[in-house]
Structure 1
Amino acid sequence: MYGAVLVLMLAVGAAGSRLGAMLEPIYWNSSNPLLSGWGYSITVELDDKVDIVCPRAFNRSRQDPQYNTLYQVQEEGYVHCDASQGKMLLRCDKPFQDNRFTMLFQEFSPSPFGLEFKPGRDYYYISTSTSELGGLDNKVGGNCRNGMRLKITVNQQTNIIPPVENTSESSHYVVDLTPNSIPREDTPDPGGGGSSTQANSPNNELLPPPDASAGTRLRLHVTAAAIFTSVQLILCL
């Protein structure tokens, strides 16, 4: 029975878990139309992933390479395009090579330097570079003022599994296995007066002790019915 319960628990966990999605990559350059005006905003779920991709130049003679840095900042830095107190995540300083930063939206990171995200919170990212190599480490203004900023919202309802209503008849059984109390016959009167009148009352007759094996059978029946009902629900999923 314990083996069946373990298999059932694993099956329920697998059915209720959510696999994160790989979102469309975000190309971190000033020519991206999404990064214009007031920037780009997306809503994600925990365990989703997204790639922040540096601009890539394929022709050294015909293309002017772009240089940008990605910072994670607080809301104030996002509004005022100030990365002075920000955390640098990606440095796009090799325009002729593939370079990207994969952002995993996890609530707890195994690395002390990893990013962590909480449901219902907003997270802000900007680039204050000027697209030129000399302005790569610029900390105020820059491309952020032209819309090179990103706001990410983590969905509040992440990974919440709705309760499943059990309509099986077994869920309505209430089994009372409490042993019946055995009334005690009153002690005779020391003076020889015999038993009290309550001792002869039909409501105070001695009751037989409960059948322990019957209680065990009832518990096994209820447990088996619950497991059978859960397996039916998993198959329906």
Structure 2
Amino acid sequence: MEEITPWEYDQVNLICPTYPPSSLPPLESHIIYSVSREEYETCRVTSPSPKIVAVCDRPQEFLYFTITFRSFTPTPGGLEFQPGKDYYFVSTSSREDIQRRIHGYCSSFNMRIIIHVAENSKKLNSSSPEVDRETRQSDGVSDNPIILQTVDQRKLPNVVRKEQRVSSGSGMQSIQTFSTLCLCLSIRFL
């Protein structure tokens, strides 16, 4: 079970799988849904109108989606996250059917993640190797962004993997991982 714990107002980039232009179909595509705990556990999207988090349907283009963990969003229908709550994301797509809502990559490659939004009132233990929120906010940059992968690439044959450091205009450095059969997340702590 993959789980991350961002603070309110942290951001996560969902980075879609990217293939070289010369790659031949079928190429991996995903619809990422926000689902209930039961849907997460069974890899079944049963809601008649599920909440779509991201659509990774252009596998030969670099594509990512930024999620900001905030309790209110001005965007109608946008994602809202309450501190102390758990949120569940899955991709039940398959190579044959991006619209698939049962099993798919969720079952075959564990393409699912739990996001537990940290409570603002709780501080990390200062004796732990992690720093508290005020320290993280002081420089606005995470020197070691966290990369999570929903599948262990060492267990997969013929996986293309490339990592590169990227600097944004704000001076933030992140590692972007491009890989088949892997939905990668990079976290930016504000």
State the TM-score, normalizing by the size of structure 1: 0.47
Give 3-state SS (helix, strand or coil) of 1:44's partner: coil
Q: How many percent identity over aligned positions?
A: 33
What's 1:57 paired with? 19
Residues 158, 97 of structure 1: CA spacing in aligned structure 2 closer, same or farther, 3 A cutoff? farther
Kindly provide the CA deviation profile for residues 188-229 of structure 1, in whole angstroms up to 9, marking residues without a partner as x: xxxxxxxxxxxxxxxxxxxxxxxxxxxxxxxxxxxxxxxxxx
Counterpart-to-counterpart distance in 2, 1:76 and 1:139: 14
Residues 158, 49 of structure 1: CA spacing in aligned structure 2 closer, same or farther, 3 A cutoff? farther
What's 1:149 paired with? 112
8 Å Cα contact 2:8/2:120 also seen in 1: no
Moved more, 145-154 or 55-64: 55-64
Q: Which has the higher strand share?
A: 2
Give 3-state SS (helix, strand or coil) of 1:56's partner: coil
**1:95 and 2:59 are equivalent in the alignment:** yes
Q: Which amino acid aligns with 1:155?
A: A
Offset at residue 157 of structure 1 (A) = 3.0
What's 2:170 paired with? none
What's 2:92 paired with? 128
Q: Which amino acid aligns with 2:120?
A: Q
Q: Which amino acid aligns with 2:112?
A: R
Q: Which has the higher helix share?
A: 1
Counterpart-to-counterpart distance in 2, 1:124 and 1:46: 16
The unaligned stretches of length 5 or more in structure 2 are 124-190
The unaligned stretches of length 5 or more in structure 1 are 1-37, 161-237
Kindly provide the CA deviation profile for residues 121-169 of structure 1, in whole angstroms up to 9, marking residues without a partner as x: 0000000011x1x310000111111311010001123588xxxxxxxxx
Give 3-state SS (helix, strand or coil) of 1:145's partner: helix
Aligned-CA RMSD value: 1.9
Equivalences for 1:73-222 in 2 at 5 Å? 73-85=35-47, 86-130=50-94, 132=95, 134-146=96-108, 147-157=110-120
Counterpart-to-counterpart distance in 1, 2:99 and 2:82: 29
Counterpart-to-counterpart distance in 2, 1:99 and 1:151: 22
Stretches of 4+ aligned residues off by more than 6 angstroms = none
Give 3-state SS (helix, strand or coil) of 1:96's partner: coil
Kindly provide the CA deviation profile for residues 62-111 of structure 1, in whole angstroms up to 9, marking residues without a partner as x: 68521111000011110111113131121111111121111000111112
Q: 2:28 aligns with which of 53, 66, 72?
A: 66
**Paired residues, what number?**
120
Q: Which amino acid aligns with 1:154?
A: V
Q: Which has the higher contact order (CA 8 A, sep 6+)?
A: 2
Counterpart-to-counterpart distance in 1, 2:23 and 2:44: 34
Counterpart-to-counterpart distance in 2, 1:101 and 1:70: 11
